[in-house]
Structure 1
Amino acid sequence: MPGTGPLLPGTPDLVSTPEEKRAAANAIQGHIQSGTKKAGEWAKDETSAAVKALAAKDGDGWTTSRALKKAHTTWGDQVQNLMNRLEAEKFALRGAHTDLRGSDLSTDGQIRQCSPFDAY
């Protein structure tokens, strides 16, 4: 959107401190990932029980049993993708300060090489 950005007055920016990044990474690890894992285990147990209850006793079983099993497999893949994404976000948050600080120092070194003020 034209006319907005972190350098214009009155507009929000995306700046955060290393402490805020660390807190966010810790929240991902301590609450979101562990909660997601617990919920996944609960859903796995409950779905497995439903599949078993609707399974065949003397034939093919209920169509619902097969559908639940297929849906649970798809859901499991989606949960695994979420867990992978959370891990990547946690890693990125923990590395952001180091990466940004390194970029700052590198840029400073390049600018300092050709600064006309060094001659004074």
Structure 2
Amino acid sequence: RGLLDQTLVIWGGEFGRTPMNEARNGSTFLGRDHHPNCFTMLLAGGGIKPGMVYGETDEFGYNVVRDKVSVRDLQQTILHQLGLDAHRFGFPYLGLNQRLIGPTEEAQLVKEILS
């Protein structure tokens, strides 16, 4: 029906979880810590190539080994697909105009995932 032609669906979180159990400070409860270096995002529709996987971690899911995408790169790509210039799109915070991609020009558009 074409519903995803102009709709961008984004699912994910701002961090993954460490691949190993951790016990801290003598705790008897094992848990998995925040892991901002490796996380999963799902993007569908809105000009994103369907049925592909981009990026890869090592066999433990601890380090990125191929096609690393930073949060700023992801934000740059999402804003691009929404028709917004990431370098001009900002919001007021503490009297300054802040950008989602940060103050530098280092965010990259992830062209490989675009259809």
> Would the TM-score normalized by the shorter structure come out above 0.5?
no
> TM-score, structure 1 length as denominator?
0.24
Greater helix share, 1 or 2? 1
> TM-score, structure 2 length as denominator?
0.25
Greater strand share, 1 or 2? 2
Which structure carries more relative contact order (alpha carbon 8 Å, separation 6+)?
1
